Amino acid sequence: MTDAATPARPAAVPNDLGAWWLPFTPNRAFKKNPRMLARAKGMFYYTPEGHEILDGSAGLWCCNAGHCREPIVAAIAAQAASLDFAPSFQFGHPMAFQLATRIADLAPADLDHVFFVNSGSESVDTALKIALAYHHARGEAGRTRLIGRARGYHGVGFGGISVGGISGNRKHFGPMLPGVDHLPTTYDREKQAFSRGEPDWGGHLADTLEDIVALHDSSTIAAVIVEPMAGSTGVLAPPKNYLARLRAICDKYGILLIFDEVITGFGRLGAAFAAERFGIVPDMITFAKGVTSGTVPLGGVIVREPVHAAFMKGPDHVAEFMHGYTYSAHPLACAAGLATLDLYAQEKLFARAAQLESTIADAFHALRGLPNVLDIRTIGLVAAIDLAPEAGGVGCRGLAALDHAFHQQNLLFRITGDTIAVSPPLIVSKEQIGAIADKVARAIRAVA
Ligand code: PLP
């Protein structure tokens, strides 16, 4: 406990690490040898001791514009001083409308309406609820079944873990939502190992949706949700034609298609959204992370015109969608979002990611042949390396690599089990991509 008289302790490391229970972290191991981040600027984090850490993962796939960029910092500061909070139930503020328009303009086709939330998990649960309520509004209330995919990650809400396909995130949490099915994963190492971009093999796996339809009947199915590129499960690019086939089957049966673009949104694959890169128009796009370059929590769902229109009926005085969060469209988040989108446009950062795709692919595919490397996958400004698990258990080698990279190589990257994922801010230079790959190589050798 502190009191008002306690002086601020800017970058001092606290003596007591007991109280904070860290998310998705082995807390006891972490607290024995913490990886502390005290400041950030541009491509770098700084530890409390002042070590400069190259950011190989844009924080947590968020900070696409790099860290502490002046225009975003200034916009947040100005907003905090002028409108700290505004309720978004029954009231609005100008920046929320401006930001919604800007996001809709970035999204393809008639994805024209934006519902704001505060995180990726909330965006997923919101999209699932929109899907159910959409069918209800159209008189097809029997369409309640939701389809996810094995190895999918859609955050940690009960909706998200139900359609998600990572058993570790589900198994301790009791019954999931009823009426959920899963498509098979698109990944098969034997057929796809060491692919650049979209693997050649696997497009036909979209046809398994036909089997689910045959089993349950299309009149029971509300929506399919997939990450166009699965990120958190280890960077799985969609096989060629997979998304197009999924779109076609959804169209055939009146099933909504939701792209979870929490990671792929805002430039990660060299376009504003993966939908644009792959030329597929989903019915909804979920987003978060990059919309504010990670500075203030913000997420949302972008909805196609006909889906939105189905709600805009009934008496004028009745709310069309009984859902929302106190902090939906928070003024600080909207200010950060507008400044971030300006920066992306001014610095052409989405195009920059596209231009760097071959650089990161060359740098990482060159690591093939290092000890324990089972697969390397690259797409957009993303690279992943699967390491063989240690006898001690899945995840031990990955965690050791993360730890070595941070403490010995001054590099931060992301791990999922024994998969290393690299997704630097879009401002990364070619030299820095080379440096990240060198440091990753050293980490891989160190844990051999
Ligand atoms: N959906 C996808 C595809 C994600 O990658 C993530 C987080 O990484 C989420 C949802 C959840 O986002 P959040 O952690 O902001 O709730």
Per-residue pLDDT tens over the stretch 308-333 = 999 999 999 999 999 999 999 999 99
Q: What is the mean pLDDT of residues 6-23?
A: 77
18 CA distance to ligand 1 centroid (A)?
A: 26
Which is the closest atom of ligand 1 to the Cα of 264?
Answer: 3
pLDDT at 3: 41
pLDDT at residue 133 greater than cutoff 50:
yes
What would you report as the CA-atom Rg of the chain, rounded to the nearest whole angstrom?
Answer: 22
Query: Ligand 1 pocket test: which of 258, 263, 284 has the largest number of ligand atoms within 8 Å of its C-beta?
Result: 263
Residues in Cβ contact with 192 at an 8 Å cutoff, skipping those fewer than 6 apart: 199, 200, 201, 202, 239, 375, 377
Spell out the residues 6+ positions from residue 172 whose beta carbon is closer than 8 angstroms to its own: none
- Quick check: do 27-68+348-446 and 73-346 share a fold? no
Question: Does the pLDDT value for residue 8 go beyond 80?
Answer: no
- CATH number (3.40.50.2300, 3.20.20.70, 3.40.640.10, 3.40.50.1100) of 73-346 reads 3.40.640.10
How does residue 15 score in pLDDT terms, banded at 50, 70 and 90?
confident
Give the model's pLDDT for residue 10: 54
Does the pTM surpass 0.95? The reply is: yes
Above pLDDT 90, what percent of the chain? 96
Bridge partners of residue 411, in order along the sequence: 54
Q: What's the gap in Å between 320 CA and the centre of ligand 1? A: 26
Instruction: Please state the rounded mean pLDDT for residues 341-346.
Output: 98
Three-state secondary structure call for residue 412: strand
What pLDDT score was predicted for residue 7? 44
Ligand 1 atom at minimum distance from 60 CA: 8
Task: Say which DSSP state 90 is in.
Answer: S
For residue 376, give every residue at least 6 positions away whose Cβ sits within 8 Å of its Cβ, in sequence order, or none. Answer: 194, 364, 365, 367, 368, 383, 384, 385, 386
pLDDT value for 32 = 94
- Give residue-wise pLDDT tens across range 198-219: 999 999 999 999 999 999 999 9
How far, in Å, from the CA of 215 to the mean position of ligand 1?
A: 30
CA of 67 to the centre of ligand 1 (A): 20
Question: Going by CA atoms, what residue is nearest to atom 8 of ligand 1?
Answer: 232
Buried b (16+ CB within 10 A) or exposed e, 66-81: bbebeebeebbeebee
> Measured from the CB, is residue 153 less than 6 Å from ligand 1?
yes
- Residue identifier of the C-alpha nearest atom 12 of ligand 1: 120
Q: Is 155 in the pocket of ligand 1 (CB under 6 A)?
A: yes
pLDDT, tens only, 162-203: 999 999 999 999 999 999 999 999 999 999 999 999 999 999
pLDDT average, residue stretch 31-48 = 97
Please, what is the Cα angle at 9 between 8 and 15, to 5 degrees?
A: 130
Multiple choice CATH, 27-68+348-446, 3.90.1150.10, 3.40.190.10, 3.30.1050.10, 3.40.50.300: 3.90.1150.10
Q: Is the CB of 260 under 6 A from ligand 1?
A: yes
- Average pLDDT of the chain to the nearest whole number: 96
Question: For ligand 1, is residue 119 a contact (CB within 6 Å)?
Answer: yes
Q: Where are the domains of the chain?
A: 27-68+348-446, 73-346
Q: What whole-number distance in Å separates Cα of residue 436 and Cα of residue 448?
A: 18
- Give the per-residue pLDDT at 14: 83
Taking only the tens place, the pLDDT of each residue in 346-383 is 999 999 999 999 999 999 999 999 999 999 999 999 99
Closest ligand 1 atom to 152 CA? 3
- For residues 36 and 6, the model is more confident at 36
Ligand 1 site, residue 121, Cβ cutoff 6 A: yes
The answer, yes or no, to whether residue 9 has pLDDT greater than 90, is no
Per-residue pLDDT at 5 = 42
124 Cα–ligand 1 center, Å: 8
Taking the centre of ligand 1 as the mean of its atom positions, its distance from the CA of residue 423, in whole angstroms, is 15
| Amino acid 1: pLDDT | 36
Mean pLDDT for the stretch of residues 379-398 = 96
Token pair recorded at residue 50: 């002042």
400 CB less than 6 Å from ligand 1? no
pLDDT in the model for residue 400: 96
Question: What pLDDT is attached to residue 392?
Answer: 83
Q: What is the mean pLDDT of residues 28-47?
A: 96
Compute the average pLDDT of residues 421-431. 98
Tell me how far the alpha carbon of residue 63 lies from the centroid of ligand 1, in angstroms: 14
Per-residue confidence (pLDDT) for residue 21, from 0 to 100? 98
Which amino acid does the sequence have at 106? L
Report how far ligand 1's centroid is from the alpha carbon of 262 (Å): 6
